[in-house]
Structure 1
Amino acid sequence: MSEQKAHILITDDEKAIRNTLEEILQYENYEVSTAESGQLALDFVGENDIDLMFLDIKMQGMDGLETLKKLREAGHEFPVIMISGHGTIEIAVEATKMGAYDFLEKPPDLNRLLISVRNALSQQNLAKEYKQIKKKLPKVQEIIGESKAISKIKTLIEKVAPTQSRVLITGENGTGKELVAKWIHEKSPRSTGPFVEVNCAAIPSDLLESELFGHEKGAFTGASDQRIGKFEQADGGTLFLDEIGDMSLEAQAKVLRALQENKVTRVGGNESVSVDVRILAATNKDLEEEIKEGNFREDLFHRISVIPIKVPPLRERKEDIPLIAKACLNNLKEKDISFSSISFSDGALKALKEKEWSGNVRELQNAVERLGILESGDEITKETVNDVLKTRDLKAGDLGKLADETEDFQDFKETAERIFLVKQLEKNDWNISQTAEQIGIQRSHMYNKMKKYNIER
């Protein structure tokens, strides 16, 4: 089977140049097309696949630089070699800044032209291969840890993922329940389908039904258009019901019916829509206790908890803390060059391991970012960890120490309140509405207190 020819488009308003380049490139066994203006070139690449373009800078109508700009704005990434009979360093620099691969003067030197074509196509092939490899790689971040507890969860994921069984993931806030759900989806036969997440705690109960099942136009005030719900969006894939323990009893009944019938009815509609979804659910609550208190349906519990997975808190896998901290720092380095030279000292990692992480992995991630920003040198030290994170260790038993150090009652009260608010915000990944609801104050009061105590993420 012969290798497919590379397709090259020559765009120049001089017929002689088009013909000369076409003859040379066809002799080198390339497939060649031509266009006599920038607009014709844009129209051509909109309907045809090309691997490389020659583009004249000085053309009547739309010039080469404007054409190049429109090509990049349209998302075309193939290499473009600019050609000009009036070349200047300034034009070459401008073209390169706009994404041109190379710049050749007319009449082009034959050897240089062919070398530029081969190099450009080679680079294009490498870019395509990289994209193909990237597509095959998991899009989900790794579950970090070598502890016995985490190894057990990884083994469970491998066993459960290929099945259609429903999974209930439990654990404290910030332990990584969502990550476990994503890996079950990633390793399942449904991985090419959608992964749709619904945070049941973040959506008001009166809107949750519309969010899950969708609604028809005019179903209620404000329903100006038909809306497809999360069940339908997840058709052929996975629906992750996060914080399902916060779902109202009314919504629970409708979810149960959807699971029994594999059908949903949009709010305000009469027709049932068939759906094929795998349900994964997560909660930080003890659902069996919630059943006893009348807050959760027992029949729904048995439907969603065919396979239970409990994600352990950090205090039960302290040996994983240094690994997670280093992984968090590496993620920051990939996103922000200002973190590129920073590392942890052995003492700093040991100090992190000894801390109490009530907010678990989420709190540790936030702490690593703070340490990276506040460390004055290139190495995060034990002293920096203890200094920056000292308020995290304040527990009920330490209030006596704070009382000894604070003589004014108002100062004592405000310091303790500030520490409490920061801890609760970190537990909820700085979701202010969710934090306010959990600690029992109005959201507006939460904002006022954050402003009063200068609390910022």
Structure 2
Amino acid sequence: MPPEDVSTEVQRAHAKSERDTTDLIGRLRAAGLQIVERDSRPLLDQLETSRDVDVLVARRDSLSPEDLEAIEASVEVDGAPSVVVLGTDVGAHDRTSLLAAGVTHVVDGGLGSKWLRTALDAVARAEAESASLSDEPRLSDFISHSSYMRRFVELVRRVADADSTLLITGDTGVGKERLARAIHAERSDPDSPFVAVNCGALPEQLLESELFGHVKGAFTGADDDRKGHFQAADGGTLFLDEIGEMPQHVQVKLLTVLERREVVPVGSSEGRPVDVRVLAATNRDLRDEVAAGRFREDLYYRLNVIPLEIPSLKERREDIPDLVGSMIAWFRRDLDRREVQGIEPAALQALMDYSWPGNVREVSNAIERAVLLCEGDEIRLRDLPEEVRGTAAPLEAPGRDTRAGDSTAPGASSTADLPADWRELSLKEIRQAAADRCERAFLDAVMDEVGGIVKDAAARCGIAPRSLYDRLRRHGIRKEDYR
């Protein structure tokens, strides 16, 4: 390309960057926020003297490595503004580094005007909502680079204000309860209750009483009247997680509540009116459960007024760098590991290549572990869980005869059970990897033995069902796969 053409392209790019910055600032101000643009002063000075400002907007090409350190330091400054960075064709590793340093949003202006408008609106909403004192999830938390996820969030936004029952589905770990809380926050006043019930974590004989309450004398031990979760959620939202685990006799009673808007406590014949919006969630296909006779068809249609299937992480891999950066920023402060400033490209690539059967929850566990194990200023490949790093074929020590019958030779089989990157790991890390692998194999065997029944598996393991649920999720084990 001739020099004059190069110059023209540079000028056009600069002009577009200026327009995008002006557009972003305009949208943020329209959301009622106080905005300041990056100026020529040292960034930390500007951040510390801008405590009456909500957001500082900076173009990526205006930020130096020292500026990222300033952003990191400003996170600890009470009242310092959020930092939103606007760039063009911002790479995955760069986005991760910016977010890990404490940038709240990275907007890429190189992904097309339609996406840019959507992203700018989402950032404006997120910053306006973050100015409130509530720590509850909001729909603006679900900002995404994935067109699939953006369409999903727009659908949720359209139905959030309705009173209709919503059925939230999706794989383990996609954030079903987080979405339910965000929907509640979108439509409800701060004082309205949000009550979450895991239908799979409560013993069958207690679930009915927990949901609908009971009267004195209803059963042995019922010494007083007790309100259930429906009455506790009166005027707000009741979230029924793992609804596919609900026994059929409780399904009948739930259907009655949804149709009549009243609950009948156990041991009573008198209905009590309730004004509750019900959000239900499951990682099962309830149509299959209906076909198998385990879930009532009439209840399925009553719940499935507006189905919301959360995309799994493997369907929106482009969001992984931003998730990783935001989680590093969170855990380095929460775990007091501020020396961890980012992640090396090879480790980020491994995170992007992994299938994530446990979705966002599994990413969170992996990043928390990596921040704890990191020995330098960047997370390295060796800090990630073994399943994320990937394993190669068993290694053989060079120069050793590993044929059958030579098991007494030094090193003959010493590397057979080690991860592929064992040379980079400490003894502590090898021990942890082995423990994780052994625990997963044990849980897999136990779940197979009991047919996927969590209560029986927990008793077999000698731990509480809730603790077992956490371990199953960490290992990406689904109880449905054992039935």
TM class by shorter-chain length?
A: 0.5 to 0.7
**Could you list the per-position Cα deviations for residues 33-78 of structure 1 after superposition, in whole angstroms to 9, with x for gaps in the alignment?**
xxxxxxxxxxxxxxxxxxxxxxxxxxxxxxxxxxxxxxxxxxxxxx
One-letter amino acid of the counterpart of residue 139, structure 1: E
Query: 1:402, 1:173 → 2: CA distance?
Result: 34
Q: Which residue number corresponds to residue 460 of structure 2?
A: 445
The structure showing larger relative contact order (alpha-carbon pairs under 8 Å, at least 6 residues apart) is: 2
Asked if residue 390 in structure 1 is aligned to residue 386 in structure 2, the reply is: yes
> Are residues 223 and 339 of structure 1, via their aligned partners in 2, closer, same or farther at CA, if it must alter by over 3 Å?
farther
Q: Which runs of at least 4 in structure 1 moved beyond 6 Å after TM superposition? A: 402-408
**Could you list the per-position Cα deviations for residues 151-199 of structure 1 after superposition, in whole angstroms to 9, with x for gaps in the alignment?**
1221112101111111111111101111111111111145541111110
Query: 1:145, 1:375 → 2: CA distance?
Result: 28
> Are residues 225 and 424 of structure 1, via their aligned partners in 2, closer, same or farther at CA, if it must alter by over 3 Å?
farther
Q: Which residue number corresponds to residue 41 of structure 1?
A: none
Q: Which residue number corresponds to residue 373 of structure 2?
A: 374
1:419 to 431, 437, 440: 437
Q: How does 1:37-116 map to 2 (within 5 A)?
A: none
Q: CA deviation at 1:250?
A: 0.6
> Are residues 286 and 226 of structure 1, via their aligned partners in 2, closer, same or farther at CA, if it must alter by over 3 Å?
same
One-letter amino acid of the counterpart of residue 443, structure 1: A
Q: Which residue number corresponds to residue 147 of structure 1?
A: 146
SS at 1:241's partner residue?
strand
Q: CA deviation at 1:446?
A: 2.3
Q: Which residue number corresponds to residue 302 of structure 1?
A: 301
Query: 2:277, 2:329 → 1: CA distance?
Result: 33
Q: Is residue 340–residue 371 contact of structure 2 (8 Å, CA) maintained in 1?
A: no
Query: 1:438, 1:285 → 2: CA distance?
Result: 14
Query: 1:274, 1:406 → 2: CA distance?
Result: 73
Query: 2:189, 2:156 → 1: CA distance?
Result: 14
SS at 1:308's partner residue?
strand
Q: CA deviation at 1:224?
A: 2.4
Q: Is residue 339–residue 377 contact of structure 2 (8 Å, CA) maintained in 1?
A: no
Query: 1:144, 1:220 → 2: CA distance?
Result: 49
Query: 2:327, 2:412 → 1: CA distance?
Result: 36
Q: Which residue number corresponds to residue 214 of structure 1?
A: 213
SS at 1:215's partner residue?
coil
Q: Is residue 322–residue 350 contact of structure 1 (8 Å, CA) maintained in 2?
A: no
| Length-normalised TM-score, structure 2 | 0.56
Let me know the Cα RMSD of the aligned residues. 3.7
Query: 1:222, 1:147 → 2: CA distance?
Result: 52
Query: 2:200, 2:325 → 1: CA distance?
Result: 31
Query: 2:299, 2:201 → 1: CA distance?
Result: 20
- Could you say which structure has the larger radius of gyration? 1
Q: CA deviation at 1:401?
A: 5.2
Query: 1:339, 1:153 → 2: CA distance?
Result: 35
- Structure 1: 5+ residue stretches without partners: 1-131, 449-454
Query: 1:179, 1:208 → 2: CA distance?
Result: 22
> Are residues 340 and 186 of structure 1, via their aligned partners in 2, closer, same or farther at CA, if it must alter by over 3 Å?
farther
Q: Which residue number corresponds to residue 427 of structure 2?
A: none
One-letter amino acid of the counterpart of residue 212, structure 2: F
Q: Is residue 157–residue 183 contact of structure 1 (8 Å, CA) maintained in 2?
A: no
SS at 1:198's partner residue?
strand
One-letter amino acid of the counterpart of residue 198, structure 2: N
Asked if residue 268 in structure 1 is aligned to residue 267 in structure 2, the reply is: yes
One-letter amino acid of the counterpart of residue 366, structure 1: N
One-letter amino acid of the counterpart of residue 358, structure 2: G
Asked if residue 361 in structure 1 is aligned to residue 376 in structure 2, the reply is: no
Q: Which residue number corresponds to residue 352 of structure 1?
A: 351
> Are residues 219 and 411 of structure 1, via their aligned partners in 2, closer, same or farther at CA, if it must alter by over 3 Å?
farther
> Are residues 228 and 441 of structure 1, via their aligned partners in 2, closer, same or farther at CA, if it must alter by over 3 Å?
closer
Q: CA deviation at 1:338?
A: 2.5
One-letter amino acid of the counterpart of residue 243, structure 1: E
SS at 1:196's partner residue?
strand
SS at 1:266's partner residue?
coil
One-letter amino acid of the counterpart of residue 387, structure 2: T
Asked if residue 225 in structure 1 is aligned to residue 224 in structure 2, the reply is: yes
Q: Which residue number corresponds to residue 288 of structure 2?
A: 289
SS at 2:142's partner residue?
coil
Q: CA deviation at 1:218?
A: 2.2
Query: 2:256, 2:440 → 1: CA distance?
Result: 40
Q: CA deviation at 1:351?
A: 2.0
Q: CA deviation at 1:144?
A: 5.0
Query: 2:197, 2:323 → 1: CA distance?
Result: 26
Q: CA deviation at 1:278?
A: 0.6
One-letter amino acid of the counterpart of residue 371, structure 2: G
Query: 2:395, 2:281 → 1: CA distance?
Result: 37
Number of equivalenced pairs: 305
Q: CA deviation at 1:207?
A: 0.6
Query: 2:412, 2:351 → 1: CA distance?
Result: 27
Query: 1:438, 1:407 → 2: CA distance?
Result: 38
> Are residues 162 and 297 of structure 1, via their aligned partners in 2, closer, same or farther at CA, if it must alter by over 3 Å?
same
Q: Is residue 216–residue 223 contact of structure 1 (8 Å, CA) maintained in 2?
A: yes
Query: 2:239, 2:323 → 1: CA distance?
Result: 24
Query: 1:304, 1:444 → 2: CA distance?
Result: 32
Q: Is residue 200–residue 244 contact of structure 1 (8 Å, CA) maintained in 2?
A: yes
One-letter amino acid of the counterpart of residue 461, structure 2: M
SS at 1:227's partner residue?
coil
